[in-house]
Amino acid sequence: MDFALNLERTEIDFVAALSRKERWAQQLLYEQHYGKMMGVCLRYAGSKDEALDLLHEGFIKAFQNIDRYKPGTSITAWIRTIMVNTCIDYYRRNIRRRTEDLDQVYSASSDDPDVLSNLTEQEILAAVQELSPAYRAVFNLYVIEGYSHKEIGESLNITESTSRSNLVKARLKLQEYFSQKRMVFNHSNNNSES
Q: Where are the domains of the chain?
A: 2-94, 102-193
Considering only the top CATH level, what class is 102-193? Answer: mainly alpha
Over residues 116-140, mean pLDDT: 82
**What does pTM read for this prediction?**
0.63
pLDDT at 89 over 70: yes
The pLDDT, as a whole number, for residue 107 is 39
pLDDT value at residue 51: 93
- Of 65-69, 78-82, 124-128, least confident by mean pLDDT is 124-128
Task: Identify the CATH assignment for 2-94 out of 1.20.950.20, 3.40.50.920, 3.40.50.1100, 1.10.1740.10.
Answer: 1.10.1740.10
- Between 42 and 125, whose confidence is greater? 42
SS3 category, 73: strand
Task: Provide mean pLDDT across the span 85-103.
Answer: 66
Count how many residues are written for the chain: 194
Q: Are 178 and 112 in contact (CB under 8 A)?
A: no
Give the pLDDT confidence score for residue 110 in this predicted structure: 42
What would the mean pLDDT of 2-22 be, rounded to a whole number? Answer: 74
Q: What is the C-alpha to C-alpha distance for residues 144 and 138, in angstroms, rounded to an integer?
A: 10
Q: Among 79, 177, 89, 176, which Cα is nearest to 133's?
A: 89
Is the pLDDT at 111 greater than 70? The verdict is no
Distance CA 128, CA 46 (A): 8
pLDDT (0 to 100) of residue 179: 82
Query: What pLDDT is recorded for position 129?
Result: 87
Asked whether 83 and 145 are in contact (CB, 8 A), the reply is no
Q: Contact at 8 Å (CB) between 29 and 18? A: yes
- pLDDT single digits (tens) 138-184: 998 998 888 999 999 999 999 999 999 999 999 998 888 888 776 55
> Using one digit for the tens of pLDDT, what is the confidence trace for 69-84?
988 889 999 999 999 9
